[in-house]
Amino acid sequence: MENKRVRLRYAPSPTGPQHIGGIRTALFSYLFAKKHGGDFILRIEDTDQTRFVKGAEEYIIESLNWCGIKIDEGVSVGGPHAPYRQSERKALGIYQKYAEQLVKDDFAYYAFDTGEELDEMRKRLEAAKVVAPQYNSVSRQNMKNSLTLSEDEVKKLLSENVPYVIRLKVPRSEEIRFHDIIRGWVVVNSSQVDDKVLLKSDGMPTYHLAHIVDDILMEITHAVRGEEWLPSAPAHMLIYRYLGLESTMPQYAHLPLLLKPDGNGKLSKRDGDRLGFPTFPLDWTDPATGELSSGYREKGYFPEAFINILVLLGWNPGTVQELFTLEELAQLFTFERVSKSGAKFDPEKAKWFNQQYLRKKSDEEIAALFLPLLKEHLPAGSPLLESKYVTTFCKLIKEKAHFVNEFWSLGSYFFIAPESYDADVLKKRWNEQSEKFMLVLTDNYKAIDNFTAAETENIFKQTGEQTGVAVGTVMQLLRVLLTGVGGGPMLFEMMELLGKKETLQRLETALTKVKN
Ligand code: GLU
C-alpha cells in the first residue's frame, strides 16, 4: 500500500444536481490526492437507469470546474481506465464476471423471487414482529433461490431466462471488522447485514458490486463517501474478502453528515431555499418540473469562499486560521482532522466568508465584476461607466457589502441623484439652524477648487464654527440631502467621487425640495 500512487475518486450518481455534501466529498478527496501528489478521478455511477436525470453529469462537471477542482481522469477528460461511466463499463461486461465468480465460489447465489414474493416475505416477517424485515441468512431459506432449489431446477430456470438477481451470501453470525480512517475500527455482526443484490435482473450491477470492481480496477487507494454508506460497509468488506481482494482494497473514510443550522437533523436539499441559503453549488432547474433550486455561484459567492465554507464543514486545521486557498488546503488537509460528528451549516458564517474574499480582491478586480451589473442600470456610453469612477465606487462600497450583486442596491445614488429623502432623519434634523448651516456650506463649497475628501471635511468643520452649529448634528442630514439615505460609505470620500458640480447640484436641489 505504502508505495502505491495515491488515487481518489469522486463517484456521484447522476440523479440530479449535486448537493453541497457531495461537493464536499469531492473536495476532501481532491485535497487528499493533491497533498500526496496523487490523482483525482471522476467516475459516474449511473447503474440505476430509473433514477437517471438528464443534465446531472454536466452539472457535476461544471460544479467541480467552478470550484477549481481539477479532474485528472474521468468522464470529461478520459484516462487509462476509460470508460468512466458505469453504464458503458457494464456494456463491456466488466461486472458480470465478478458476480458469476462469487456464485461459483458459493459466496453469492441466484434469486428468482418475483416482486410479489418479496412483498409476501416482508409481510410474513412483519407479522412475526421481525424488527427489520430483510432478505438475509434466515429469510433466504424460505425463498426461491439457488440455495433452496435443486441444481437442476436452477439450471432449468436459467435456461428458460426466468429473471433473476445475484445476491451476496452473508454468513449467519460472524464478526466483520473494518478500519475507517475517520472512525477507527468498526465492528458489526453479519446478522445485521442483508443479502445485498449485486447484479440486478437487467444485468446491471448495483452500487455495492460496481464501486468495488471499479475501485479495484481503477487502483483507488482511498474511498471517501458520505456517512449514509456506513451501514453498507460491512457488506462491502465481505465482497472484497470473497473476491480475494482484501489486500488491495482502498481505505475507507466515511464523512460526517451536514446538519441543519440549528443542528436538528440532516441538511436536506430542500432546506436551503426554505431557510434562505443555497444547498447546491450552482443553480439547477429540474428538467421534469421546471422548479429552480438556487446555487452559490448565482447567489454571488466566489468559488474561493465556497470551498472555504465547505472545507470547514467537518474538517478543522487545528489552528485559528479561517481563510485558506485551495493550494494551502492541499498542503494542510488530513483525515485525522475530520470529525466523526455532524457538521452544522451556518448561513451567516457563509456570508462572512464571502465578505472576507470580497475585501481581499483588488478594487480593479471587483470593478470588472460589477461593471456588467452596472450596465443593466445605466444608458450605454454614460460617463459614469468610466473605469476610474466605477473602481473608486467599488472601493468605497465594498466595505458595506457581502456580495458584488448588492453594490447597486447599496449605492445606486452614486449614479442617480436621489428623488426622496429619509423622512426620519429630516424630521429629527431639519430645522432653521441646520438649514442655515447647509446654505453657508453650499456657498463655502462653491468657493473651493480642490474638492477632495480632506478639503470638504475641513470646510464642513469650519462651517460649523462659522454658524455655531455642532457638526455632529448635521452630518447625517448632509448625507441624506446628497444620497437620500441615512447610511453609506465615508461621506467625504463619497463627495470627492461625486465631484464638486454634482455635489453642489444635489445640495441645491435637496434644499429647495426639502424646504417645500
Ligand atoms: N454513487 C454513490 C453516490 O452517489 C457514491 C458513493 C461512493 O462514493 O462510493 O452516493
Ligand 1 center from residue 207 Cα (angstroms): 8
Q: Which CATH number fits domain 423-515: 1.10.10.350, 3.40.50.620, 3.20.20.20, 3.20.20.70?
A: 1.10.10.350
Ligand 1 center from residue 162 Cα (angstroms): 30
Q: With residue 89 as reference, give the H or E element that holds it.
A: helix 86-91
How far apart, in whole angstroms, are the C-alpha atoms of residue 296 and residue 441? Answer: 46
Q: Cell numbers of 21, please?
A: 455534501
Mean pLDDT on 249-258? 97
Give the distance, in angstroms, between the CA of residue 306 and the centroid of all CA atoms in the same chain: 7
Q: Is the pLDDT of residue 117 over 90?
A: yes
- pLDDT tens readout for residues 465-514: 999 999 999 999 999 999 999 999 999 999 999 999 999 999 999 999 99
269 counts as catalytic: yes
- pLDDT tens readout for residues 154-187: 999 999 999 999 999 999 999 999 999 999 999 9
φ/ψ of 342, rounded to 5, equals: -60, 150
Atom 9 of ligand 1, residue of closest alpha carbon? 225
Q: In sequence order, what are the residues at sequence separation of 6 or more whose Cβ sits closer than 8 angstroms to the Cβ of residue 241?
A: none
Model pTM score: 0.93
Pick from 230, 289, 285: which is nearest to 254 by CA?
Answer: 230
Give the distance, in angstroms, between the CA of residue 485 and the centroid of all CA atoms in the same chain: 36
How far apart, in whole angstroms, are the C-alpha atoms of residue 220 and residue 226? Answer: 17
Number of other CB atoms surrounding residue 83 within 10 Å: 17
Phi-psi region of 512 (alpha: psi -120 to 50; beta: other; left: phi over 0): alpha
- pLDDT tens readout for residues 272-303: 778 888 999 999 999 999 999 999 999 999 99
DSSP letter assigned to residue 280: B
Atom 4 of ligand 1, residue of closest alpha carbon? 12
- Shortest-distance atom of ligand 1 to CA 45: 1
Q: In sequence order, what are the residues at sequence separation of 6 or more whose Cβ sits closer than 8 angstroms to the Cβ of residue 253?
A: 28, 180, 181, 182, 222, 223, 224, 225, 335, 338
Pocket of ligand 1 (CB under 6 A): 11-13, 45, 207, 211, 223, 225, 229
Residue 463 in contact with residue 477, Cβ under 8 Å? no
Q: Is 392 helix (H, G, I), strand (E, B) or coil?
A: helix
Mean pLDDT on 355-370? 98
Residue 2: the pLDDT is 56
Q: Is the pLDDT of residue 379 over 80?
A: yes
Strands (E), 123-239: 165-168, 175-180, 184-189, 197-199, 222-226
Residue 132: the pLDDT is 87
Task: Assign a CATH topology to domain 271-357.
Answer: Glutamyl-tRNA Synthetase; domain 2 (1.10.1160)
Q: In sequence order, what are the residues at sequence separation of 6 or more whose Cβ sits closer than 8 angstroms to the Cβ of residue 305?
A: 350, 353, 354, 356, 357
Compute the residue count for the chain. 516
CB burial string 218-250: b at 16+ within 10 A, e below: bbbbbbbbbbebbebbbbbbbbbebbeeeeebb
How far apart, in whole angstroms, are the C-alpha atoms of residue 29 and residue 35? Answer: 10
Ligand 1 center from residue 65 Cα (angstroms): 19
- Shortest-distance atom of ligand 1 to CA 9: 8
Catalytic residue, chosen from 260, 269, 395, 436, is: 269
How do the domains of the chain map onto residue ranges?
A: 271-357, 362-411, 423-515
Q: Cell numbers of 190, please?
A: 453479519
Ligand 1 center from residue 13 Cα (angstroms): 6
From 10, 13, 240, mutation site for ligand 1 pocket: most ligand atoms within 8 A of C-beta: 13
Positive or negative: CA dihedral 473, 478, 483, 489:
negative
How far apart, in whole angstroms, are the C-alpha atoms of residue 361 and residue 339? Answer: 32
How far apart, in whole angstroms, are the C-alpha atoms of residue 94 and residue 213? Answer: 8
